[in-house]
Amino acid sequence: MNQLDALRQWTTVVADTGDFRQLAQFKPQDATTNPSLILKAVQKPEYRPLLDEALVRHKGKPMDEIIDRLLVRFGCEILSVVPGRVSTEVDARLSFDTAATVARAERIVALYRAEGIDVEKRLLIKIASTWEGIEAARQLEAQGVHTNLTLLFSFAQAVACGAAGVQLISPFVGRIYDWYKKSAGAAWDEAANAGANDPGVKSVRQIFNYYKRHGIATEVMGASFRNTGQIAALAGCDLLTISPDLLAELAASDAPLAHALDAQAARALDLPKVELNEAAFRYAHNEDAMATEKLAEGIRAFAADAVKLEKLMQSI
């Protein structure tokens, strides 16, 4: 049994890509996308027709609507390959505007419905885990629209998402690892911070254990991996979203892979319940320098790629 098949014993495998032609070989259950992945995909010759088609079919419509239609087109193509769900992201520039996030999400949902997609079962609306984004997710979940809260770096974000009843969260393992490695500089010891000791892995394990201990139904999906060691250390997490390159590495390896996270064991842990109102959330998140920096950086990066996609489409 290769490592990818071994991982599937305990964890739902999700593909982290906009390149839907790569998906079939790995047989993921779900797939996730983001603005950076879609921007990367549409610059490949094999995906350029989708971009051209969106521009021709929807000429004269506002650019933000054309982009949403392009995202939905990619999402529908992905859903023709995966049996489960696709995550489609709301424009990161709306990350601090609850009403605008809800409105954009509702439009994306309507576009999927128009394509005949069962959105309740097959779509997750991806939103940055700001306080405003979490509140938008709360409102959307109340409508039966399921959400994936992304750019999640702090325990406070996870607590707020669980309290809001969001469907799924995506803690960013690799970006947490990146921050601690950069912060340590020459003092960083790679071997001492690998596997279960990786700071990104530890963050996800803390969230997973807390959710299972308190019966929080929100799914935990580790994301943004730098190596297969991080993935192996989270075997047993609800879901893991993995890039095609790392999926290929797992499929090519027959090294042993153990069950690392155990929901049943987590239920016996002594973990106090945490309650956060808006002020407490903002303070707790602000106290985490890594999370504060990486959330802001992530929003800026996704927003920048959204602008690049707009400019690309305007230039055609």
* Other residues' Cβ atoms within 10 Å of the Cβ of residue 254: 11
* Other residues' Cβ atoms within 10 Å of the Cβ of residue 232: 21
Q: How far apart, in whole angstroms, are the C-alpha atoms of residue 238 and residue 220?
A: 5
Residue length, the chain? 316
Within 8 A by CB and 6+ apart from 72, the residues are 88, 108, 111, 112, 115
Q: Say if residues 86 and 75 touch (Cβ distance below 8 Å).
A: yes
Residue 52 carries which side chain, given as an amino acid letter?
D
Q: In which residue are the tokens 């970006």 written?
A: 175
Q: How far apart, in whole angstroms, are the C-alpha atoms of residue 196 and residue 3?
A: 17
Q: How far apart, in whole angstroms, are the C-alpha atoms of residue 153 and residue 160?
A: 12
Q: What are phi and psi of 52, to 5 degrees?
A: -60, -40
Tokens (6 digits) for 132:
């405003």
Choose, from 27, 40, 44, 126, the residue flagged as catalytic. Answer: 126
Q: Is 126 a catalytic residue?
A: yes
Q: In which residue are the tokens 């049943």 written?
A: 264
Q: How far apart, in whole angstroms, are the C-alpha atoms of residue 167 and residue 165?
A: 6
**Alpha-carbon distances, residue 134 vs 44, 120, 138, 283 (angstroms):** 34, 19, 6, 16
Between CA 103 and CA 227, with CA 285 as vertex, the angle to 5 degrees is 90
In angstroms and rounded to an integer, the radius of gyration of the C-alpha atoms of the chain is 19
Greatest pairwise CA separation for the chain in angstroms = 58
Which residues participate in catalysis according to the annotation? 126
